[in-house]
Amino acid sequence: MSNFSLKSLLSRADLQREKAKDYRNIVIIQVIIVSAGLVLSEPVLANSKSEQSKLIISIFSFFAATYAFLQWDLLRNFTNSRPLIIGILIALSLTIVVGILGEFPYYQFIEIPDRQTYLLTLHSVLFPIEVIVICFAISDLFSGNFMTPDKLWGAACIFLMIGISFGSLYDLISIARPGSLGGDFELGFPNYAECVTYSFSILGGVDSGLQPSRLIRNISIIEAVWGGLYGMLIIGKLLGLPREEIKS
* Residues 109-147 as b or e (16 or more Cβ within 10 Å = b): eeeeeeeeebbeebbebbeebbebbbebbbebbeeeeeb
Q: Other CB atoms closer than 10 Å to residue 106's CB: what's the count?
A: 9
Cα 244 to Cα 145: distance, rounded to the nearest angstrom: 9
Residue 110 has a pLDDT of 81
- Helices and strands, number each (H, E), in the chain: 9, 0
Cα 143 to Cα 151: distance, rounded to the nearest angstrom: 10
- Amino acid 14 reads D
- At 6, the pLDDT band (50, 70, 90 cuts) reads very low
Q: What is the mean pLDDT of the chain?
A: 84
Cα 119 to Cα 138: distance, rounded to the nearest angstrom: 28
Residue 2 has a pLDDT of 44
Q: Stretch 106-117: mean pLDDT, rounded? A: 84
Q: Looking at the predicted structure, is the pLDDT value of residue 248 above 60? A: no
- Amino acid 217 reads R
User: What confidence tens digit (pLDDT) does each residue in 144-199 have?
Assistant: 666 677 788 888 899 999 999 999 999 999 999 998 998 888 888 889 989 999 99
- At 39, the pLDDT band (50, 70, 90 cuts) reads confident
Strand segments, DSSP code E, in 8-90 are none
* 8 Å CB contact between 187 and 178: yes
Whole-number Cα distances in Å, 131 to 12, 71, 122, 176: 26, 11, 15, 19
Q: Stretch 127-150: mean pLDDT, rounded? A: 83
pTM for this structure?
Answer: 0.86
Q: What percent of the chain has pLDDT over 90?
A: 40
